[in-house]
Amino acid sequence: MSLPVSSIQFTAAPRRILVTGATGFLGGAVTLRLLELGHVEGLSFLVRAATPAEGLERLLQNLRVHDIDERLAALLKPEQILCGDLLDTHWIDAAKPLLQTLDEVINCAAVASFSRNPKIWPVNVEGTFALAEACAQSRRLKRFLHVSTAMACGPQRQSPVAETWDFPEPDQQLVDYTASKAAIELKLRNELPLLPLVVARPSIVVGHRRSGCKASGSIFWVFRMGFALERFTCGLDEQIDVIPVDYCAEALVELALKPKLNYSLYHISAGNAGACTFGEIDEAYAGAMGDAPVGERYRQVDSADLKELAADFNERIGPANPRLVLRALKLYGGFADLNYLFDNQRLLDEGIAAPPRFTDYLDVCVHSSRDISIPAQMQWDFK
């Protein structure tokens, strides 16, 4: 869990750390973790903004959604904002003097959408590479921690999935997002041999142990929808690899700042020990809702049969666009059909704590989602 402000130890010689994606879900959690550990003065943030003051306001708005202590928020200054983004990288030349002074980069920035967003490849591949290429010229940089996704492994893997640099062809990936993440991993590794690259691949990041879905409802709507429809493509005895964003952030910060690592590639995942079955999730979800579990009423269906559920959408999940809901169900059904767990032994061997189970904090996700409809929550993943 996050450290209380009263226990913060401020460092005398601040490490110079650049965080990208700090106005997003995972990047915001990473930023908060760094602040709670006392890394304040040395932090810089790449933020899409016209001025540093505007960028700082965007950052603070996101950190407040993550429940930052205002005493920490007050320590951040406009001078820590680097105005720019990974879609238009003209700012990099002017920023090279700053980039040459960095000790670590934690690259959380990405277009994390399962829609066919035209910005996915320009940001996730071209822009990310441009930033990394500039950072690779620094003799001071100790680590460039790139945040990818465990699902970049593609289909037809043996579970639990091991950390490997082997990827399927892009057209075999389920969505453009995972294809882009696989492509940039290989591009960074193969074309920038001097970059001190470490890749972290989180599994399925859902909610937060304290604030649930307050900062993001990403993917939690899938569970809500499956139990509301009493149908989905997975069986109740199958497991799913889910971690909360705050655990993911804690692991990322440790991977970024640990003086020496044994590997250059890590899963941040629940693994065999931390994964839950859908039956266990059904029990925990029902308990949080004050309802009976779906249990024997649940039916596993094929992806091709999901369209037969459309007639029940309005009654069970509220007013929704049937075409969009079906597309979302088929996409997530495709991932669920893979039935993957991701080996996290490398992470544990680094001394990083084992993850919580999804059922340990699922009630917090339920209570934080009560005032938002399932179709509205679904929009987190289709921007």
Alpha-helical regions (H) of the chain: 25-36, 52-65, 70-73, 92-99, 120-121, 128-135, 176-191, 220-229, 245-257, 271-274, 278-289, 313-317, 322-338, 345-349, 358-368, 374-378
* Residue 150 lies inside a defined structural domain of this protein: yes
Q: What is the pLDDT of residues 97-133, one digit of tens each?
A: 999 999 999 999 999 988 889 999 999 999 999 999 9
Determine which of 68-82, 243-257, 368-382 has the lowest per-residue pLDDT on average: 368-382
Q: What is the pLDDT of residues 210-257, one digit of tens each?
A: 999 999 999 999 999 999 999 998 999 999 999 999 999 999 999 999
pLDDT at residue 326, as a whole number: 86
* Residue 296 lies inside a defined structural domain of this protein: no
Class of residue 63 by CB neighbours under 10 A (exposed 0-12, middle 13-18, buried 19+): buried
DSSP helix/strand/coil, 77: coil
Q: Are strands 242-243 and 43-47 parallel, antiparallel or unpaired?
A: unpaired
Query: Could you tell me the pLDDT band of residue 303, with boundaries at 50, 70 and 90?
Result: confident
CA 302 to chain centre: 27
**Under 8 Å between Cβ of 20 and 131:** yes
Question: Which of 140, 4, 137 is closest to 71 using CA atoms?
Answer: 4
**Under 8 Å between Cβ of 228 and 383:** no
* Residue 383 lies inside a defined structural domain of this protein: no
Mean pLDDT of 85-91: 97
Q: What is the distance in angstroms between the CA of the first residue and the CA of the last residue of the chain?
A: 30
* Residue 193 lies inside a defined structural domain of this protein: yes
* Residue 72 lies inside a defined structural domain of this protein: yes
DSSP helix/strand/coil, 286: helix
CA distance 381 to 218: 6
pLDDT at residue 6, as a whole number: 41
Residue 121 structural domain: 5-217+241-273+340-356
**Phi, psi of 293, rounded to the nearest 5 degrees:** -60, 155
* Residue 262 lies inside a defined structural domain of this protein: yes
Mean predicted lDDT score pLDDT of the chain: 93
8 has pLDDT over 70:
no
Question: Which of 352, 383, 348 is closest to 120 using CA atoms?
Answer: 383
CA distance 158 to 311: 36
Determine which of 19-28, 229-238, 347-356 has the lowest per-residue pLDDT on average: 229-238
* Residue 278 lies inside a defined structural domain of this protein: no
Query: Could you tell me the pLDDT band of residue 9, with boundaries at 50, 70 and 90?
Result: very low
How many folded domains does the chain comprise? Answer: 1
Q: What is the CATH number for 14? A: 3.40.50.720
* Residue 57 lies inside a defined structural domain of this protein: yes
Query: Could you tell me the pLDDT band of residue 4, with boundaries at 50, 70 and 90?
Result: very low
Mean pLDDT of 74-90: 97
**Under 8 Å between Cβ of 162 and 103:** no
Question: Which of 285, 277, 276 is closest to 224 using CA atoms?
Answer: 285
The DSSP H or E segment spanning 299 is strand 299-300
pLDDT at residue 11, as a whole number: 44
**Under 8 Å between Cβ of 245 and 203:** no
pLDDT at residue 3, as a whole number: 47
pLDDT at residue 290, as a whole number: 96
Return the higher-pLDDT residue of 209 and 2. 209
pLDDT at residue 374, as a whole number: 92
- Pair of tokens at residue 239: 């497991």
Query: Could you tell me the pLDDT band of residue 1, with boundaries at 50, 70 and 90?
Result: very low
Mean pLDDT of 257-280: 97
**Under 8 Å between Cβ of 49 and 61:** no
Determine which of 56-65, 147-156, 310-319, 363-372 has the lowest per-residue pLDDT on average: 310-319
- Pair of tokens at residue 306: 């999901």
Determine which of 13-22, 37-46, 154-163, 298-307 has the lowest per-residue pLDDT on average: 298-307
Which residues, 6+ apart, have CB-to-CB distance to 248 below 8 Å? 26, 29, 202, 205, 268
Mean pLDDT of 184-206: 98
Q: How many CB atoms lie within 10 A of CB 154?
A: 19
Q: What is the pLDDT of residues 224-237, one digit of tens each?
A: 999 999 999 899 99
10 has pLDDT over 60:
no
Query: Could you tell me the pLDDT band of residue 322, with boundaries at 50, 70 and 90?
Result: confident
